[in-house]
Structure 1
Amino acid sequence: MRVKYTPNRLNLVHQLKTTAIKCFIILFILHSQISKAQTGSNNEPIRYIGGTHINPFTHEAGLRYAIGVENIQTLRANRTHPELSDGYGWTYNHASNLAYWNGQFYQQYISGEKDEHRAPVQTMLITSKNGKEWGFPKVAFPPYKAPEGVKIPEGSTGYMMHQRMGFYVTPNGRLLTLAFYGHTENPFRENGIGRVVREIYKDGNMGPIYFIRYDSQTNWNESNTAYPFYKKSNDKGFVAACDSLLNDRLRTLQWFEEDNGVDGFYTFNKSEQAFNWYKRKDGKIVGLWKKSFTALSDDDGKTFSDPIKSNTLVMSGGKMWGQQTEDGKYAISYNPIDQTQYRFPMAVITSDDGIIYDNLLLVQAEVPVRRFYGIWKDFGPCYMRGITPGNGNPPGKDMWMTYSMNKEDIWICRVPTPIKYAINEDVKDDFENMTVNGLLTDWNTYSTKWAKTSLTKESNGNQSLHMTDTDPYDYSRAIRVFEEGTAVSVSFKVKVEAIDSSQFDVEITDQFGNSPIRISFGEDKQIKISEGFNMKPTLPFEYGKWYNFKIKVNTLGLGSYSIAIDNKMIAENIPTLMAVKSVERISFRTGAYRNLPDRKTPNEVNDPPLNGADEKQNLSSYFIDDVFVISEKK
């Protein structure tokens, strides 16, 4: 039977068809948008799914620690005693790079007299065999001196050194170090001069300085610059090494922002700031830049998709560093804060596939006071950089990074892999199974030039943790994470050999850094313990004598603890400093708790150097041994 269509029926059919078409279009658009936003695609190369973000009101930021990280200061700026720092007494030090070659670490950084982007600025080089003890810095690239007759452009106050790339290990096994000369206060693009290179020899000496590339937006060339072009070298191996680097479009993309390549040198011309990269398990290369920008490459880094902000990565003007770690996983380190002047803490997130990241953890939670004012010297550990693929692989399975602190001191850190934040067994650290000058397994340490944490062997053969302090404005610190619990038994031994104006604090804390229990050794030779909000004297202590502490913690309700010293009950079921849900780490620190600078501390305030910042205080010396912890699970 054939249906007869009246005008009304025809109109209804037309409306239904129109509605169906509209629905299809809407669904298509929604599907397209979902596809465009798909994690792992060009529109979201990586994603942080952890949901944990920082507490901006403390240095530890309410985060858990990446367990076992070792932070070591390699340069402590000193203005009045340059023989103790760099030979110059310059106090702006920043933008460090790292390589491992010929059995040792090479660390390169820029150094200015006082301020960022103000002449004079030069590049320094330090080396270390083991990452712990570092040599005296030497100049890799001195302040630029223009040839006679070449004038400083109008608006510039001189010349400066800058770099985004520090090292290149060549296919023929040589080590090159590189940097970029430009005009202050903005060395980029039309204010640039060019990139310089020199070889580092196996005996530690360095070859002549050459330009490897002139700024593409200027008329600089061999006739009007201070160093010859690399092609003039009589060393054919060196020339071949430079040619190899110039032909590597992935590594040279690190140079892009300093001259932008208007001559067509770069195969990708949308690069952002401070590029680095890693290869995902699917073979695609992830490009990372400042300010959360990410992109993908399908052609081994010749070109990338348009950089797009990863909205799940909170950051500002600091760099981020990403790499595949020795355990086959991935890690990205950055400052998870959107305030450029306050670049702390230094954190890490981890991934199994290089796409989906989780577990925002602490790498460096300390922010000492800035001793010397300087323009654009931002607070905190920043500009982290690891070892670029191809630039060496130190022994072991650790992730190594370098960074600056307050743009004043230079540091290095060793992050054990796999990166973890939890301990699921009792702690039994008598230190006898660890190696002197080796890694303190599962201990997080903070060690400055003048305040050190290390494993030592005493005269009787006993091994223990040794913490010293001669720094008037910093301290050493050692943290041991244990299994999280609400009822915890902690025991440890402490020996004080010398104590100056600082104090020695032992704290038991929760996962957020809150300290319900504190024990303090002071100049008055009294052992004090926290009782509620107060610090109560208990026993006097003697230098050179071991004291055995046993603590039982109960976090239920308002929280309480009992403490015995040398098997004598000192206090039983006394209130904690604060209520916490559970506890999971013990901290030993050669100075008082600090939380300054904070997010409100003025940054651009031209204050004089801190009083006595360049002078050591008298030695404080402490030993810790037999750290045992038993936790009841939550």
Structure 2
Amino acid sequence: MRHTLRISLTALAATSLLSATACAQVYSTDPEPPIIYDGEISVSTNADGGLRPAVGTHNIQVYRANRSEPEHLDGLDHTYLHAPMLAYWRGKFHLDYLSAPVNEHDSPTPTSYTSSVDGIHWDAPTTLFPAYELPDGSRPLTHQRTSFFIAPNDRLLATAFYGLYPRPNDGSGIGRAVREVKADGSFGPLYFLRYNSQEGWDPANAAAFPFYTESPDKGFVAACEALLADKLQTAQWWEEDRSEDGFYREKGKALSYYHLPDGKVVGIWKNAVTMTTDDEGESWIRTGFAKNIPINSSKYWAEKTKDSNYALVFNPTTRLRHPLAIATSEDGKTYRNLLSVHGELPDQRFPGLYKNMGPQYVRGILEGNGNPPGDDLWLTYSVNKEDIWVSRVPVPVSHSTAGSFFDDFEDSSENGLPSFWNVYRPLWAPTQIVDTNSKQGRALRLSDEDPCDYASVTRIFEEGRSTMIRFKLRPEQTDGRLEIDVANAEGLRPVQIAFTENGTVEARHEGIWKPAGTYEAGKWIDIEIDVNPDNNTERFQFRINGEEVLYRIAYFSDLARTAERLTFRTGEYRRRGSGGHEIPGADLKVKKSTFLIDDVSIEPRK
């Protein structure tokens, strides 16, 4: 099924009723908002939306919710994980997120924290902002639209808002807490940074933590005051605080922003509301909705990338929160080339109230919050509101490659991920470069012991009618599953091959699985997939160790005139996952399967 989103300013204005926030008052009929998508956004209901993937993107699972055997240092067995935030400071990525037992806004809802040196391997999380009891015995909930702040004196602060059940972001909460994250991973004492004084909260009844000015650490106090003075950073706090004391210059939810070369700041808020400021957030100019971009209650992320272009990351539908997509701009105003960043949608393992499906609530590294090595764009988000992920998107963002190539992975770092490959890496189905300790040298390894997900890698190649694909494969067992697809731009899979759990090999001909022999564990085999060898028919040939393994040339299962990507996946293809039901055994690993891939060559024919 495919639908096209055609979005006019009139339709956008009508849609404003969907938002029950004070953002409604910023809508205008300005015909030229500061963010415009040039064209129409057309997506399918597949997990990837039928979009091309951004070349070389790595999707990396940071934490997998687990009720039975949690790996959280504090033993939290929560299955609602959401709203992550990201920073880079002193050689590490720093990430925190909300955690609740089952449902959104459950009590307690603490904030958890983890860090990573490389963005691939993450430490076990611990509690950053704990739940605590008020004098009446109730427990406030943490909430966040922003968190990290690297102060001018190089202190890393983290903040969280303590709100009240059941709506911690409606302005009735207690106030914003702050603590320092130290270079060794430890935390400083907890303080309040602002009280919701208009709701009557003050040091006498807020309890638990002192006000930041009571800290004996002058450097910490100076960092807090620098944060309070930053009107761009603190503009993201209004939704939870909603005070009328003059601290906030505008009203809105989940602001994301970037600077243009002339110094103007462009901001996009929830529901695609836009504003600009010429004075670093001291005042805002209301500019209506982003043009030709769906209004979605999930977040938007906008950032100036290291190639001096701009990126806008969002869920490109009005309701669904999948896929996570990216559009790019050269001038910070007109965006084009919508691509998928995270195009997988696993089953939701744990049902809960307000647990939307999909990769959502995306955030990147805010201006001033660190600069990781390399030119990549780093993002964080939750999937199904129960797992925390990051993505590394190569810059410049592209959907295509050109020419032939040969990947032997010898130049890739051991335990790292391959450049130019798209990687989907759950914690229980990791992908990494390994040394085979043989003449084969380094290879790409896919392992899988996840009962609900799989590892997947994709190599995008030059789009064409006819292509020769060769690679080496070593299954480490005969009871695992590896599927190999050749796909086109929209994700149609004309070529489908499987190494099955029964030790057999199959290839799909016009939708029917046909036998193609058997395979052995621990042996390298040479594979050839000749796509459209005659260059004018929709068929393929399949060879193992130089021999044809099908009794006839197979015709495509999905009709596609061209192909442009090769995918290896340790499980059966899924169009999209489903949710709302508990999955038995989701917390327990299954028997591991492992496949090694090496010497991948692809030669498009003109």
TM-score of the superposed pair, with normalisation by structure 2: 0.92
Equivalent in 51, 59, 78 of residue 40 of structure 2? 51
**In structure 1, how many angstroms separate the alpha carbons of the residues matched to 2:205 and 2:81?**
29
Q: How does 1:218-297 map to 2 (within 5 A)?
A: 218-226=199-207, 227-266=209-248, 268-269=249-250, 271-297=251-277
1:85–1:581 CA distance, 2 compared to 1 (3 A): farther
- Asked if 2 retains the 8 angstrom alpha-carbon contact of 1:115 and 1:377, the reply is yes
Match of 1:616 in 2: 589
Q: How does 1:216-615 map to 2 (within 5 A)?
A: 216-226=197-207, 227-266=209-248, 268-269=249-250, 271-339=251-319, 342-460=320-438, 462-498=441-477, 500=479, 503-554=481-532, 559-571=538-550, 572-597=552-577, 605=580, 607=581, 609-615=582-588
1:259–1:84 CA distance, 2 compared to 1 (3 A): closer
**In structure 1, how many angstroms separate the alpha carbons of the residues matched to 2:560 and 2:74?**
45
Deviations 1:393-440 (A, max 9, x none): 111111101110100010111111111101111121111222223441
Match of 1:165 in 2: 146
- Asked if 2 retains the 8 angstrom alpha-carbon contact of 1:470 and 1:618, the reply is yes
1:511 deviates by: 0.5
**In structure 2, how many angstroms separate the alpha carbons of the residues matched to 1:409 and 1:87?**
16
- Asked if 1 retains the 8 angstrom alpha-carbon contact of 2:150 and 2:368, the reply is yes
Gaps of 5+ in 1: 1-34, 153-157
Matching residue's letter, 1:125: Y
**In structure 1, how many angstroms separate the alpha carbons of the residues matched to 2:224 and 2:317?**
38
- Asked if 2 retains the 8 angstrom alpha-carbon contact of 1:422 and 1:481, the reply is yes
**In structure 2, how many angstroms separate the alpha carbons of the residues matched to 1:455 and 1:471?**
19
- Asked if 2 retains the 8 angstrom alpha-carbon contact of 1:499 and 1:619, the reply is no
**In structure 2, how many angstroms separate the alpha carbons of the residues matched to 1:50 and 1:615?**
46
Range that drifts further, 561-570 or 91-100: 561-570
Match of 2:160 in 1: 179
Matched position secondary structure for 2:410: coil
Q: How does 1:115-130 map to 2 (within 5 A)?
A: 115-130=103-118
Match of 1:7 in 2: none
- Asked if 1 retains the 8 angstrom alpha-carbon contact of 2:41 and 2:293, the reply is no
- Asked if 2 retains the 8 angstrom alpha-carbon contact of 1:76 and 1:85, the reply is no
**In structure 1, how many angstroms separate the alpha carbons of the residues matched to 2:465 and 2:201?**
67
Deviations 1:545-583 (A, max 9, x none): 111111221296661111211111223532111221200
Higher Cα radius of gyration: 1
1:281 deviates by: 2.9
TM-score of the superposed pair, with normalisation by structure 1: 0.88
- Asked if 2 retains the 8 angstrom alpha-carbon contact of 1:557 and 1:579, the reply is no
- Asked if 1 retains the 8 angstrom alpha-carbon contact of 2:478 and 2:519, the reply is no
Equivalent in 88, 112, 115 of residue 76 of structure 2? 88
Is the aligned partner of 1:135 residue 2:123? yes
1:484 deviates by: 0.2
- Asked if 1 retains the 8 angstrom alpha-carbon contact of 2:477 and 2:520, the reply is no
Gaps of 5+ in 2: 1-27
Deviations 1:569-599 (A, max 9, x none): 22353211122120000000000011243xx
- Asked if 1 retains the 8 angstrom alpha-carbon contact of 2:74 and 2:127, the reply is no
- Asked if 2 retains the 8 angstrom alpha-carbon contact of 1:216 and 1:262, the reply is no
1:551–1:309 CA distance, 2 compared to 1 (3 A): same
The list of structure 1 runs, each at least 4 consecutive aligned residues, that deviate by more than 4 angstroms after superposition, is 35-38, 555-558
**In structure 2, how many angstroms separate the alpha carbons of the residues matched to 1:515 and 1:482?**
15
The number of equivalent residue pairs is 575
**In structure 2, how many angstroms separate the alpha carbons of the residues matched to 1:118 and 1:619?**
35
- Asked if 2 retains the 8 angstrom alpha-carbon contact of 1:336 and 1:345, the reply is yes
1:476–1:293 CA distance, 2 compared to 1 (3 A): same
Matched position secondary structure for 1:54: strand
1:189 deviates by: 3.9
Matching residue's letter, 1:294: T
Range that drifts further, 44-53 or 165-174: 44-53
1:238–1:85 CA distance, 2 compared to 1 (3 A): closer
Matching residue's letter, 2:504: Q
**RMSD (CA atoms):** 1.7
Is the aligned partner of 1:209 residue 2:203? no
Range that drifts further, 444-453 or 305-314: 305-314
**In structure 1, how many angstroms separate the alpha carbons of the residues matched to 2:340 and 2:74?**
30
